[in-house]
């Protein structure tokens, strides 16, 4: 990296660290729980009845760490495990859990709003575009989108037909990978047809003449 770029990298790293300190301590305190627990409550508020494994995946925990986190949230009366007919155990937020998720989204919004107050309207619009590009780049792997947005107030990003850049990047990635799979299948079909023709050529099949 050039010096100017290294400096921007430092600023980006320092901003990320400062905001995540602020957000994790703020949201943790608002929900009376750990950073992962707080993220789990926000995820469940938008998407209840996830399995323990899926919930863990979305907040970046292994299966066993996720099980311990759910134990803790259950002891605090914030979630309960429900067993639905024919399906694995699902984690569902209690009323207290849903209220905690609301509180922590409000605390997160306040902290981020306070940070943004140091920019003018045009600067915020500039920042919006730049962050959209950064996030599109950061969302490279399947499942990244849900992890990146785990603490987001999701309704806000899609109001008035707006598009969440992370969701869009995820849809684009899926479309590319499906197109790739179709192309690969087509190429395999083509190779196999060529192979058969080649074999017939070698055998000197009459219908090739």
Residues found near a copy of itself in the complex (CB under 8 A)? 1, 3-23, 60, 108-109, 112-119, 123-128, 130-139, 147-154, 156-157, 159-160, 162, 164-166
Long-range contacts formed by 143-151: CB under 8 A, 24+ apart: 143/57, 143/58, 144/170, 145/169, 145/170, 146/43, 146/57, 146/58, 147/57, 147/58, 147/59, 147/60, 150/39, 150/42, 150/43, 150/58, 150/59, 150/60, 151/23, 151/27, 151/38, 151/39, 151/42, 151/108
CB of 99 to a copy of itself, least distance (A): 20
1 or 203: CB nearest a copy of itself = 1
Looking at the Cβ atoms of 62 and 185, the one nearer to a copy of itself is 62
Q: Which residue has the tokens 């409550």?
A: 41
Could you tell me which residues are beta bridge partners of residue 91? 50, 81
Nearest distance, CB of residue 183 and a copy of itself, angstroms: 25
Our CB check for a copy of itself shows the closer of 124 and 182 to be: 124
Min separation Cβ 131 and a copy of itself, Å: 4
Between residues 123 and 201, which has the closer beta carbon with respect to a copy of itself? Answer: 123
CB 63 within 8 A of CB 98: no
Minimum CB–partner distance for residue 87 and a copy of itself (Å):
30
DSSP H or E stretch at residue 41: helix 35-46
CB nearer a copy of itself, residue 90 or residue 149: 149
- Quote the least distance from Cβ 160 to a copy of itself, whole Å: 7
């Amino acid at each position: 990296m050039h010096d100017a770029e290294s400096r921007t990298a430092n600023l980006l790293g320092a901003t990320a660290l400062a905001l995540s300190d602020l957000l994790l301590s703020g949201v943790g305190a608002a929900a009376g729980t750990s950073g992962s627990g707080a993220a789990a409550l926000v995820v469940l508020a938008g998407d209840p009845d996830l399995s323990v494994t899926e919930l863990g995946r979305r907040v970046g925990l292994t299966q066993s760490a996720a099980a311990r986190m759910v134990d803790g949230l259950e002891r605090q009366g914030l979630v309960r495990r429900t067993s639905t007919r024919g399906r694995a155990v699902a984690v569902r937020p209690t009323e207290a859990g849903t209220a905690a998720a609301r509180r922590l989204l409000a605390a997160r919004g306040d902290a981020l709003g306070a940070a943004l107050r140091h920019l003018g309207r045009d600067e915020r619009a500039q920042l919006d575009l730049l962050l959209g590009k950064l996030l599109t780049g950061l969302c490279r792997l399947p499942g990244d989108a849900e992890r990146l947005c785990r603490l987001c107030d999701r309704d806000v990003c899609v109001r008035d037909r707006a598009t969440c850049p992370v969701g869009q990047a995820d849809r684009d990635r899926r479309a590319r990978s499906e197109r790739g799979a179709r192309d690969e299948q087509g190429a395999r079909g083509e190779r196999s047809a060529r192979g058969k023709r080649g074999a017939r050529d070698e055998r000197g099949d009459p219908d090739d003449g």
